[in-house]
Amino acid sequence: MSNFHLRKAEPKDVPDILRLIKELAKYEEMEDQVILTEKDLLDDGFGDHPFYHCVIADVPAEHQKVEGYSVIGFAMYYFTYDPWIGKLLYLEDFLFSCFTGFGIGSEILKTLSDTAVKNRCSSMHFIVAESNKASIDFYKRRGASDLSLQEGWRLFRIDKENLLKMSAYE
Amino acid sequence: MDFTIRAATLEDCKDISRMILELAEYEKASDQVKITQRDLEQDGFSKNPFFHGIIAEVPEHHKSREGHAKVGYSLYFYTYSSWKGRAVYMEDLYVMPEFRGKGIGKALMSKVSQLGLAAGCTQLNFTVLDWNKSSLDFYLKQGCWDVTSDLGYHCMRCEGDALEHLAQGDL
């Protein structure tokens, strides 16, 4: 099945984007962690200064599954900066449900890499859970390197409660 | 010691560039720095900047041995979590060695936190090298947690030839 279509996300896609985000979180056994709402996605992705960009994969009506979804994949990305090498494209989320094996994932990744190159990004970055062997293999087959393993980078985070404490430091 | 924390301006790019190189040297990777002062000026201070900066400055009488008053910096930008929404990413945090231990690093990080919260962010993310014990200890003391260790998330990168091939659809 090759007639899926990749396009830039529009405001009307927000319900599908949230549905797919929750599907991906469920796959990582983290569904209860998703607190983002459709309103957040709309305000943050389609205002004057978007925090993210999104590419959608959809299929024509005759290929829709029983539930009737035409949007079957998405990738959420934004631009970041490395003071050593400049602009980067950061792939935040990436999911293609139901139709795995039809090359949709590869096609989305190709589109994003093309976006990275066209925007003069020297690299595309993302994180993968080490337990997600299928994804790690998928990316390594395409030339990605594991910075955590190879260079010892560890991702750290401060959540809201400690962020508030930190911001109050005099 | 007296110091001020303020937003970086175009004029600070010379010192930011100097300190980026100092930080790269500390991380044993100074040959990897390709960005120049001019790149910083264009990428950080045009209409749609790719990053924001804050500077730590000391008064005249506390200047460094080589005569620098700008003794620390942080570079940050806004990102997005598909689970939690707006987030702030602290790309660089650096204080010159002779000015460490005086609360400047914490003050810089505090400023990034304030700015992030003001912009509606619910988390601050950054990366640390696993051999950098003093930094790891500092961050853990501030209430940060190690996502790589706790959730097993690995930072991945696709660059150079691999990125080009991917863009062309080669496998």
Rounded Cα gap, residues B55 and B166, in angstroms: 38
Q: What is the mean pLDDT of chain B?
A: 91
pLDDT for res A63: 64
| Residues B146, A156 contacting (CB under 8 angstroms) | yes
Rounded Cα gap, residues B39 and B66, in angstroms: 25
**Inside any domain, residue B99:** yes
| Residues A85, B39 contacting (CB under 8 angstroms) | no
Name the helix (H) or strand (E) containing A48.
none
Exposure letters B31-69 (e unless 16+ CB within 10 A, then b): eebebeeebbbebbbeeeebbbbbbbbbeeeeeeeeebb
Contact B110 A166 (CB under 8 A): yes
Segment B106-113 mean pLDDT: 93
Contact B149 A52 (CB under 8 A): no
Q: Is A135 on the interface with B (CB under 8 A)?
A: no
Query: What is the ipTM score, two decimals?
Result: 0.88
A139 in catalytic set: yes
B31 DSSP assignment: G
Segment B69-76 mean pLDDT: 97
Q: Closest residue of A to B159, CA-based?
A: A123
| Residues B10, A73 contacting (CB under 8 angstroms) | no
pLDDT for res B86: 95
Give A46-76 pLDDT, tens digit per residue: 988 899 999 998 887 666 655 556 888 889 9
Classify burial at A85, counting beta carbons within 10 Å of its beta carbon; exposed 0-12, middle 13-18, buried 19 or more: middle
Phi, psi values for residue B85, rounded to 5°: 90, -145
Q: Looking at chain B from residue 136 to 155, which residues have their Cβ under 8 Å from any Cβ of chain A? A: 136, 139, 142-149, 151-155
pLDDT exceeds cutoff 70 at A1: no
pLDDT exceeds cutoff 70 at B171: no
| Residues B111, B54 contacting (CB under 8 angstroms) | yes
| Residues A90, A147 contacting (CB under 8 angstroms) | no
pLDDT for res B13: 97
pLDDT for res A145: 86
Give the model's confidence band at A14: pLDDT under 50 very low, under 70 low, under 90 confident, else very high: very high
Rg (CA), chain A: 17
**Inside any domain, residue B64:** yes
pLDDT for res A97: 61
Q: What is the mean pLDDT of chain A?
A: 84
- pTM as predicted: 0.89
Which range among A16-30, A134-148, B77-91 shows the weakest confidence by mean pLDDT? Answer: A134-148
Domain that residue B74 falls in: 4-126
**Inside any domain, residue B134:** no
DSSP assignment string, B88-121: EEEEEEEE-GGGTTSSHHHHHHHHHHHHHHHTT-
| Residues B117, B71 contacting (CB under 8 angstroms) | no
Contact B148 A149 (CB under 8 A): no
Amino acid symbol at A72? I
Q: Looking at chain B from residue 66 to 95, which residues have their Cβ under 8 Å from any Cβ of chain A? A: 75, 77-86, 89, 91-92
**Inside any domain, residue B143:** no
CATH of the domain at B75: 3.40.630.30
pLDDT for res B42: 95
CA atoms within 13 A on the CB side of A53: 14
- List CB contacts (< 8 A) between B143 and chain A: 158, 161-162, 165-166
pLDDT for res B111: 93
- Cross-strand bridge partners of residue B124: A158, B88
Number of compact structural domains in chain B: 1
Segment B85-106 mean pLDDT: 94
Phi, psi values for residue B46, rounded to 5°: -95, -170
Give A70-122 pLDDT, tens digit per residue: 888 889 999 999 999 999 999 988 876 655 666 777 888 888 888 998 888 98
| Residues B124, A158 contacting (CB under 8 angstroms) | yes
Rounded Cα gap, residues B67 and B58, in angstroms: 11
| 3-state SS, residue B55 | strand
**Inside any domain, residue B165:** no
**Inside any domain, residue B31:** yes
Catalogue all structural domains in chain A, each as residue range(s) with its CATH number.
Answer: 5-168 (3.40.630.30)
Phi, psi values for residue B168, rounded to 5°: -85, -5
- With both helix axes pointing from N to C terminus, report the angle between A104-118 and B160-168 in degrees, rounded to the nearest 10: 120
Contact B157 A122 (CB under 8 A): no
Rounded Cα gap, residues A35 and A33, in angstroms: 6
pLDDT for res B91: 94
Interface test with B, best of A32, A155, A161, A162 (most B CBs within 10 A): A155
pLDDT for res A156: 80
pLDDT for res A60: 75
Query: Which two tokens mark A111?
Result: 């589109």
Q: Is A23 on the interface with B (CB under 8 A)?
A: no
Sign of the Cα pseudo-torsion (A164, A166, A170, B4, in order): negative
Which range among A73-77, B112-116, B149-153 shows the weakest confidence by mean pLDDT? Answer: B149-153
**Inside any domain, residue B51:** yes
pLDDT for res A2: 59
Give B115-134 pLDDT, tens digit per residue: 999 999 999 999 988 888 88
**Inside any domain, residue B137:** no
- With both helix axes pointing from N to C terminus, report the angle between B13-26 and B37-44 in degrees, rounded to the nearest 10: 110
